[in-house]
Chains A and B, each alone.
Chain A
Amino acid sequence: MTPFLTMTLAFLAALSLYLAARAAPAPAAFGDAGAELPGWAVSFAAAGVMVAGMGLGDHLALIGRFGLQASHTALGLILAALTALLLQKRLWLAARIAGLHSPGAALGRYYQSPSLRIVMLTLALLFGLPFAANLLSQLGGLLEEATRGTAPRATAIWVTAFFLFLPAVIGGWRATVLVLALQAVLLAVLLPGIAGFAQALLTGPGFPTVPMPVATSILADQIPGVIQFSAGIGKETVHGGIFTGVGIASTALSLIGIVLSPGFLYLGMTARPGRSTAFTSVWLIAALLTGLLLIAGPLLALRMAQGSSQLAAELSAIEPFAGVGFLLLLIVTTQMAVSLFTTSCAILISSEVILPFILPGLSPVKARLTTRITLAICFAMVAALAAFAPLASAVFGSLALPLAVQMLPALLGLTFLRWISRSAVLVGLVFGGLIVLFTEPLGLILFEGLFIDLPWGRWPLTIHSAAWGLTLNLSAVLLISIFTRSGAERRHQDRLHDEFASTWRVDFGTKPARNAKWSLILIWAFFALGPGAILGNTFFSQPIFTTGDASLGIPSLWAWQLFFWLIGVPLVWWLTYGAQLGTTTDQGLRRVALGDATSAPDWIASSVVRVSARSVEER
C-alpha cells in the first residue's frame, strides 16, 4: 500500500502546485485574492474546513470509544451553519462598506479597540500554530503507522508541511482556497464511498447489526443522562460516557468556534458577491456534511476498532484504491485544516501587523515578498511544533475552539446588536477566556503545577469549556451593556448599523413569521442537541404511546439523530432563503467611514519609536 499511497499523495501535491502556478496573482491580490474568490470555491472550502476543524479522525475515534452519543455532536454542524449564516453576510458587507479587510480590522475599527485586533491575531496564531500543529502531528503518526515506518513521523510532518506551504507561497490566498475546494469535493465523495465499500465488502456484519464495541461502563447507543454531576475529565470517570444532553449541546456549541475562527471569517470576507453563504450553510454543511457524518460516522467507527491503519490494511487487501481512499480521507481533512488556518494566520499577521506597523509603505511586490516570508516562517513553526512538541501543541491547541466561541458577542455586536459596547465585549472576553483557560488542560496544568489542586477537571459537569466561557461571557456583556450602551462610542457604531438598517435590512418576515422562525429553531435545538435529546434513547424503540416495543432495526438514538437532521435542514433553508441571509451583492454599496485604518495602537507605536530611537543613539 505504501508505494500506491505515496504516488497518490504525490499526484495530489502536483495538482495543487499546478493550480497554484496557474493562479499566481498580481502582487496586490496575493493575500486576499482581490476579495474576488469564486463563490463555489468558498462554499466547498468552508464546508470542508468545518469537517477538518472538527478533526474527522478524532470524531471517528470518539464514536468508536463512546458510541452514538459522540456521533450525536455532528448535529452541531447545523448550529454552526446557522451561525455562519447570521454573521457572514453582515461581516462581508462591513468589509465592503467600511473598507475592512480582515476580521481583526473589522472588530478593531468598529469597536475602536486595538485590543480586539490583538485578540483576533492571538486567535489566528492559536489556530495557525498549535491547533494546526496538533492535527499535523496526528497526520505524521498516521502516515508512519500506515507505511509501517517507511515514512517516519517527523519526515512525514515536514514533507506534508512543505507541500502545503508551496501552493500558498506560489499562488497566495486564491491558490490555497482553490486547492481546499478541490480537496473538499474529494472528501465529500470519499466519505460515503469508503463507508459504503467497507460495509459491502468487509467480512462480518457492521453497524448497526453489531453494537459499537465500547467499554462496559459506556452506553453505546444511548445518551447517559441530561447532565452528570462530575468534577470533570481527569478528576472523575463519568458513568455512561461524557456526552450527556448538556455535554452534546455544549460540544455542539464549541463547533461554532470553527465558524468564528479568523481564518474561516476571512474566507467569507474575501468571497465574491453571490449566494455562496446560502449554498454553504444549507446544502453543504447542514444537509450534506451533517448527514454524511451522522450516517457514515458510526459505520466507519465500528470498523476502526483496531485503529485506522488496520482498517486501511483490511480495505487494501480487498481493493488497494479503497485502502488508500480511506487514508486519503483522513489525510486530506487534516491537510485542509492546516492549510487554511496556517495560511490565513500568516496572511493576517502580515497584513495586520507587519505591513501597517513594522514595514509601512512597502510596494506591492515587496509586500508580497513579506507575506511569503511570513508564510515560510509560519509553516516552519507549525512543522517544528508538530514534530518536536506534540504535547504542547495539543494542550495549547485545545484552547482554540472554545476561545474562538468567546468572540460571538463581539461579532453579534458588529453585525446585529448595536447596543453591545466595547467595554462589555472586552470584559466578557476576559471572563470567558479565563473560564475557558481553567476548564481546559493548559490552565489546569499551570495552576495545579504552581499552586494547589483544583476541585474540578476538564469540562466539569460534562459541560464543554466553550459553554462555560460563553455563559459567563454573555452574562458580563449583557450586564455591562446596560450601563454603557450610549455615548460617543455608540454614535460611532451606529454609523455602520444605520447603513445596515437603511439599505441592508434583514427581513425575517412579519411578527408571527419572525417568532415562528426563532421559536422553531430553539425548539429544534432543545430536542436535537439539548436536554430534550435524551428522549431519543428510547423514543423509537419503546414508544411512549404503546406498551409494546418497536423493532426498528437500528438504535433509537440513531433514528432520533437522523430525524432531527431531516428537520434541521428545512429550518436552516427557511431562515436562509426567507430572510435572504446568505445572499450578497455589490449593487448599492455606499462607503461608511469608521475611523483611521492604519493608526498604530499607542503602545505599539511607542515601542517602535523607542527601539528605533535607541538604535540611532547606539550608532
Chain B
Amino acid sequence: MSSEDESTAMLDRHALVLAFWLPAGFVALGLLHYGFGPGGAWWVAAGFAALLAGFVAHVIVNTVLGTTFTAREAGLGMVLYAIGMVVLVLAVLLGDGFATRFFLPVAGGMIALLLAVVFYMLTRFGTRDAFDKFDIIRNNNPRRASRLIRGGRR
C-alpha cells in the first residue's frame, strides 16, 4: 500500500469513527445535562450508556477495518476519563447533595466504561498482551532481551 493509499485509508477510518462519536457524544451530553438537572439518576445512567454505545461502535469499526485504537485516540480517551474522575471526586467533595443523588450512577458509569475497555483489551489482545501494554517495569528494563517479543519469554 502506497503512503497516499495509507493516508486515505486512515482518513476513511477516522471519518467513520467521528461519524459514530458525533451522535453518541451529542446524545450523551444531552442525557447527562438533563440527568444532572431535573431528570435524575436514570438519565445520567442513560448518558453513560450512550458513551458506552459510542465505545462499542468504535470497537466494531476497529474489528471491521482490522485496526486498533490509535495512540491519539487512546490518549484522548485516557485524558477525558481522568478529567471525569477528577470531576467526580470534586463533585462528591464539594457538591451539595451530589453524592446522595448522583454518586451511584456516575461511579457506576465510570466503572462500566473501565470494564468495557478492560474487556476489549482482554478479548482483542489476550491476557498476557493486554498486561504487557502496561508493563512499565519491562519497558524500563535495560536488559536487551526485554526488547524482544514478550520480553524474551516463551
Contact = CB atoms under 8 A, between A and B. Distances in A.
Contacts of A22: 11, 14
B24 interface: yes
Interface string B17-51: 01110111011011001100111000000000000
B34 A321 contact: yes
A484 B30 CA distance: 63
Contacts of B11: 19, 22-23, 178
Contact of B23 (A40, A41, A189): A189
A325 interface: yes
A366 B30 CA distance: 46
A318 B34 CA distance: 8
Interface residues on B, range: 20 to 34
A38 interface: yes
Contacts of A193: 27
A26 interface: yes
Q: Is the interface of B mostly helix, strand, loop or mixed?
A: helix
A193 B16 CA distance: 20
A319 B39 CA distance: 10
B153 to A, nearest CB: 40
Contact of A178 (B4, B15, B24, B37): B15
B22 A322 contact: no
A457 B12 CA distance: 49
B24 A189 contact: yes
Given A41-B12, A189-B27, A182 B18 contact: yes
B30 A19 contact: no
A595 B58 CA distance: 47
A320 interface: yes
A15 interface: yes
Interface in A301-332: 318-322, 325
Nearest to A177: B15
A565 interface: no
B103 to A, nearest CB: 23
B148 to A, nearest CB: 37
A41 B13 CA distance: 10
A181 B15 contact: yes
B23 A186 contact: yes
A19 B18 contact: yes
A544 B22 CA distance: 49
19 contacts: A23-B11, A26-B4, A41-B12, A178-B12, A181-B16, A184-B19, A185-B19, A185-B22, A188-B23, A189-B24, A193-B27, A318-B34, A318-B38, A319-B33, A319-B34, A319-B39, A321-B30, A321-B34, A322-B30
Interface of A: 15, 19, 22-23, 26, 36, 38, 40-41, 44, 178, 181-182, 184-186, 188-190, 193, 318-322, 325
Top 9 nearest A-B pairs (CB, nearest first) are A321-B30, A189-B23, A185-B19, A38-B12, A319-B34, A178-B15, A182-B19, A186-B23, A22-B11
Given A189-B23, A325-B30, 16 more contacts: A15-B18, A19-B11, A26-B4, A41-B16, A181-B16, A182-B18, A182-B19, A184-B19, A185-B20, A185-B23, A186-B22, A186-B26, A190-B23, A190-B26, A321-B26, A321-B33
